[in-house]
Amino acid sequence: MSVTAKNFYRRSLPSTCVDFSSEEGKRLFKESLLEGNANIYFKLAAQFRTQDEPAYCGLSTLGNDGIERLGGGSRSNLEGTVEILSRNNARLLCSIRTREKVVFFRTGINLPQFTCLASCNRLNADVRYGKEGEDFLRMLREDVIASVRNDAEVIVASYDRSQLEQTGTGHFSPLAAFHSGTDKVLIMDVARFKYPPHWVTLTQLQQAMCSLDPSTKKTRGYVKLSLRKDSCPLVAFAIKANLGCNDADVSCLSIISVEHISCTSGTLRKEMRLRFYI
């Protein structure tokens, strides 16, 4: 007797989405490229990192090499800022607010937590919460076009998959191209085991961003990320880079009890208490 296990590997895209590798998807990308609306794609795609676990979409998005290299940076001069996150060592930042534990590994992160982690990793994080109406749609379109036309800013969408007729709920992924003729945007889905990169209309994406997140009681939305050039990496990342520690060494040291970093109203109170356990 054979048993078919329930899984979510390689779901078929709904008709509302256009597979990036399909003939139509290729045409949309070619035309976007000719319009100059796909420049950020190459920085994201060069070493695109996808998630290892179902709840890691936010962490994997932040850990992408393309986001690490915003503004023309390289791994060497960014000093490994986000590498620990992308290596599944996010436990180093398990307390990002006083007396509050963030459960990354079972439930993932929400939009405020994503924004806070981005700010902790030398990124300007300008968040926009989803709204109905033409004003938000116009702002989203303008921000997407500004992002895809350069390589110094990435837009990360926080949206509800079910609103795109996909399986699942909350998800994070970066946006890589825009096709003006159809008003479609390319979502670089970080869950490669589930869906390939695909095109959706901005109206569809807006609807998916307007879904309420039960953990915050707010809508989802998007974040504009750019490198904060006048900042230094967190001390854990600097130690890792400057002392040549590998991921295992850093994990074993269990560096950091971040007891006094708060992310209230998008600002960081730079009070940190470090503890080393050897």
Cα–Cα dist 18/32, whole Å? 14
Task: Report the phi/psi class of residue 140: left, alpha or beta, with left for phi > 0 and alpha for psi in -120 to 50.
Answer: alpha
Cα–Cα dist 79/82, whole Å? 9
CB 271 within 8 A of CB 110: no
CA atoms within a 13 Å half-sphere pointing along the CA-CB vector of 254:
6
Cα–Cα dist 104/62, whole Å? 13
What residues form DSSP beta bridges with 177?
186
Structure tokens at 44: 């994201």
Structure tokens at 211: 């879904």
Residues involved in catalysis:
57, 171, 189
In the chain, how long is the greatest CA-to-CA distance?
Answer: 63
Cα–Cα dist 28/177, whole Å? 9
Backbone φ and ψ for 174, nearest 5 degrees, come out as -80, 155
Nearest alpha-carbon partner for 39 in 168, 146, 120, 134: 146
CB 121 within 8 A of CB 81: yes
What is the chain's length?
278
Structure tokens at 270: 């730079």
